[in-house]
Amino acid sequence: MQRRKNFKKKVVTQAEDPEEVEASAQSAQKASPQKHRDPVEIPQPTPGGRPRGFSKKNIQRTVMQVNAHVLEKLSKKRRFAFVVGILMGVMIMLFLETDLGVQQEYVQEYVNMLRVPQGLEMVQAQLARFIPRDAFNLTLRKDRIGLRLLEEAGLQAKHPVVMLPGITSCGLEVWSGEPCTQRYFRQRIWGTMTMVQQFLLDTKCWLRHIALNVTSGLDPAGVKVRAVWGLESADYVIGGFWVWAKIIESLADVGYDSNSMELASYDWRLSFNKLEERDAYFSKLKRTVEHLSAANNNKKVVILAHSMGSNVFHYFVNWVTRQDGGVEATWVHRYIHAFVNIAGPMLGSSKVVTGMYSGESSDIRELSTLGLALTNYVNQKDRVALFRSWGSVASLIPRGGDLLWHSGLDDGVVAGFGEQTAAEDSDVGELPRQPSFDALVYYNNATGGLHHMRNDAVLEEVFKDQRKLLREHWLAKQYGSWYSHGIARTEAEMLAKKELPASWTNVLESQLPYAPEMKIYCVYGVGVPTERNYAYQYDKDGFPKINISHRDKEHGIVDGIGYTDGDATVPLLSLGTPCSYFWKRRLWNPSYTSVIVREIQDKAKTSQPFKPFVEDMLQRDIFQRGVSSADHLDIMGNDVLIEDVLRIATGNDEGFEERVYSNLHKITDRLREKLES
């Protein structure tokens, strides 16, 4: 009884007009002693598509009335989750006739009032309602790309396919741990609703198991968490968001099956060197490629790598060609037909540095729904500690340092196509046509001026802070031997770093392998505003936080964040220039492997610059933006990408030419002038 009263009190205090809601609830109870009470009226859609009376205030009032109306009756029978699910289903049916943006606005208002956790069953029911597994399933579409190409172009499976997921995409499961995880043996601690359940029941327990030992970069004492292997390890995440599902299904449409494709998942938390040390991952990947080739008439293999998976593959080819004293120097040439680099952050991403610096970013894109929970229920210092414990995060620190990231290469480049800008019609205010990215972080100093720090300075602050907190932390003690983020500009510099595993994590300090017949396709999205720099302020405890009230037209900063062109997660500078400049030169590509850029223009109707922190992230979790989105994660279901992948895998990629919509050529020209003058 006390629990019910407390819960009712929480619900009422969240309403915009609590006295009115309480009075309404009491009036309903007195006036309706009969068993079946009149339901709360749900506003109906108007002919124009907008539900009548669905203002923010009315949404709050309606939800609170429903909660107060049914709480006493249903909480006794533990059925409130079921009823809330029905209510949400009705709301979804009403929304089918409305614009997607309006839907998101209403759902945002509703979810904001849930205040996770109210009760585990309620949360699970609500998430399941909004994330049905087949909501975006290709099997429900009449125009499936795979079936269309099978019928129209006669595409048939040819080259076996190995897929490498990106950071946070692979499922992780518990093999052993503390008593709080005993009932989750071999259940996923990452990637499914089980993860959400674990997080809500015991957040601290979950954090202790998902974090790594900060000195060794491996499992904490007594904990064993391992990656799930196989096609199901990264097809969907958290109840129904597709990652690799649409590509897998499309490959199956043209004849592929489990004998001709494999998803080589890995523990994405580990630094690249630890993947081999703990899990022998690269040895296993090598055997997988060789087995698939042998099982498919010795056909060469196509590698599909998404996001950080592309960085992992670059490390792998440097690792494999140096095995057994270099006798495998031609391994890539013998076994790999093509490397499809999908949205690979080959030069890193700005937001990674700020994530390690302050534990925040407007878009922890791959964290999906968990990003909301981390932001709301894990304090900032604990988030910083978690991110810094993952050795993999450092693989995405911007490569090339200030020379590439703060020398004007992408100044004036905004989210759009060519000279066009998508910012003018955005809802975050007017952005300049010529933003300057001369720094990564800006602070307002005591005199009212703007103090700034570039990428290298911010990174040094991270190292200095970590040395102060714990000198034995891998980030403070081992970073230099695990990673590098410089640039080799001469043959001598490249040769000096050739045998250093740290340089294999950096495409600017390591070469492509001998593979004159291999093809590299760089396929990524453009036209989505992407974080590039930040305005910070210190809180009362002296901790840095993004200043969401800061606007600076000169530096393109709106609500504390400056935007450039990219795919919402990785800037164009990192997505495109490795393919348009570095891999087109002998120093980085000594065997002149063919490299082709295939940009995909974002055409999603809801494409907007990201709003600060949770708000827009929550909207994008509930509604993936569909087959026309070029967003970093949504691109995996993009029709253009899937067609490119199918043509490459089936050997129908002859005649593929470069496809560029962005200002990539302008950036490349500036880069050439910078490095060759």
- By mean pLDDT, which of 118-132, 387-401, 595-609, 632-646 is the weakest? 118-132
Taking the C-alpha atoms of residue 583 and residue 565, their distance in angstroms, rounded to an integer, is 21
- Cα 335 from chain centroid? 30
Bridge partners of residue 521, in order along the sequence:
340, 596
**Measured at the alpha carbon of residue 102, what is the angle toward residues 64 and 134, in degrees to the nearest 5?**
90
- Mean pLDDT for 423-447 is 55
Considering only residues 537 and 241, tell me which one the structure prediction assigns the higher pLDDT: 537
The reported pLDDT for the residue numbered 1 is 47
Residue 88 structural domain: 2-130
Checking 589-592 for CB contacts under 8 A at 24+ apart, the result is 589/511, 589/512, 590/511, 590/512, 590/514, 591/512, 591/513, 591/514, 591/515, 591/516, 592/516
Taking the C-alpha atoms of residue 564 and residue 529, their distance in angstroms, rounded to an integer, is 6
Examine the pLDDT at 219 and tell me if it is beyond 60: yes
Examine the pLDDT at 338 and tell me if it is beyond 50: yes
Report DSSP state, residue 665. H
Instruction: Examine residue 125 and state whether it is found in any structural domain, yes or no.
Output: yes
- Mean pLDDT for 627-632 is 90
Q: Quick one: which H or E segment has residue 493?
A: helix 491-497
222 phi-psi bin (left φ>0, alpha ψ -120 to 50, beta other): left
User: 158 CB contacts (<8 Å, ≥6 apart)?
Assistant: 299, 649, 650, 651
- Mean pLDDT for 521-532 is 94
The reported pLDDT for the residue numbered 80 is 46
Instruction: Examine residue 35 and state whether it is found in any structural domain, yes or no.
Output: yes
Q: What pLDDT digit, counting tens, does each position of 156-173 carry?
A: 999 999 999 999 889 999
Instruction: Examine residue 13 and state whether it is found in any structural domain, yes or no.
Output: yes
Considering only residues 574 and 61, tell me which one the structure prediction assigns the higher pLDDT: 574
Instruction: Examine residue 174 and state whether it is found in any structural domain, yes or no.
Output: no
Bridge partners of residue 557, in order along the sequence:
552, 562
The reported pLDDT for the residue numbered 333 is 98
Confidence of residue 500 (pLDDT cuts 50, 70, 90): very high
Examine the pLDDT at 18 and tell me if it is beyond 50: no
Report DSSP state, residue 167. T
Name the average pLDDT for the chain: 78
Confidence of residue 504 (pLDDT cuts 50, 70, 90): very high
Examine the pLDDT at 49 and tell me if it is beyond 70: no
The reported pLDDT for the residue numbered 15 is 42
User: By CB neighbour count within 10 A (0-12 exposed, 13-18 middle, 19+ buried), where does 44 fall?
Assistant: exposed
Taking the C-alpha atoms of residue 132 and residue 333, their distance in angstroms, rounded to an integer, is 43
N-terminal to C-terminal alpha carbon distance within the chain: 77
The reported pLDDT for the residue numbered 453 is 82
The reported pLDDT for the residue numbered 36 is 44
Confidence of residue 360 (pLDDT cuts 50, 70, 90): confident
- Mean pLDDT for 533-541 is 85
The reported pLDDT for the residue numbered 423 is 31
CB atoms within 10 A of CB 112: 15
3-state percent breakdown (helix, strand, coil) of the chain, nearest 5: 45, 15, 40
Instruction: Examine residue 419 and state whether it is found in any structural domain, yes or no.
Output: no
CB atoms within 10 A of CB 148: 17
Q: What pLDDT digit, counting tens, does each position of 562-592 carry?
A: 889 999 999 999 999 999 999 999 999 999 9
Question: Where does 267-361 have alpha helices with state H?
Answer: 272-279, 281-295, 308-320, 331-335, 350-358
Count Cα atoms within 13 angstroms, Cβ side, for 39.
7
Q: What pLDDT digit, counting tens, does each position of 62-102 carry?
A: 545 545 554 444 444 444 444 444 444 444 444 444 444 44
Instruction: Examine residue 108 and state whether it is found in any structural domain, yes or no.
Output: yes
Instruction: Examine residue 537 and state whether it is found in any structural domain, yes or no.
Output: no
Confidence of residue 19 (pLDDT cuts 50, 70, 90): low
Considering only residues 44 and 536, tell me which one the structure prediction assigns the higher pLDDT: 536
- By mean pLDDT, which of 38-52, 231-245, 548-562 is the weakest? 38-52
**Measured at the alpha carbon of residue 112, what is the angle toward residues 2 and 18, in degrees to the nearest 5?**
55
Instruction: Examine residue 66 and state whether it is found in any structural domain, yes or no.
Output: yes
Examine the pLDDT at 13 and tell me if it is beyond 90: no
Q: Which amino acid is at 523?
A: V
The reported pLDDT for the residue numbered 118 is 46
Examine the pLDDT at 111 and tell me if it is beyond 50: no
- By mean pLDDT, which of 108-112, 284-288, 299-303 is the weakest? 108-112
User: By CB neighbour count within 10 A (0-12 exposed, 13-18 middle, 19+ buried), where does 489 fall?
Assistant: middle
pTM for the model stands at 0.77
Bridge partners of residue 51, in order along the sequence:
45
User: 35 CB contacts (<8 Å, ≥6 apart)?
Assistant: none
Q: What pLDDT digit, counting tens, does each position of 127-166 carry?
A: 454 444 444 444 455 678 999 999 999 999 999 999 999 9
Number of domains forming the structure of the chain: 1
- Mean pLDDT for 271-297 is 97
- Mean pLDDT for 445-471 is 79
User: 307 CB contacts (<8 Å, ≥6 apart)?
Assistant: 165, 166, 167, 169, 342, 343, 344, 345, 366, 569, 570, 632
Asked if residue 135 lies in contact with residue 625, where contact means CB atoms within 8 angstroms, the answer is no
User: 226 CB contacts (<8 Å, ≥6 apart)?
Assistant: 172, 173, 175, 267, 279
- Mean pLDDT for 280-292 is 98
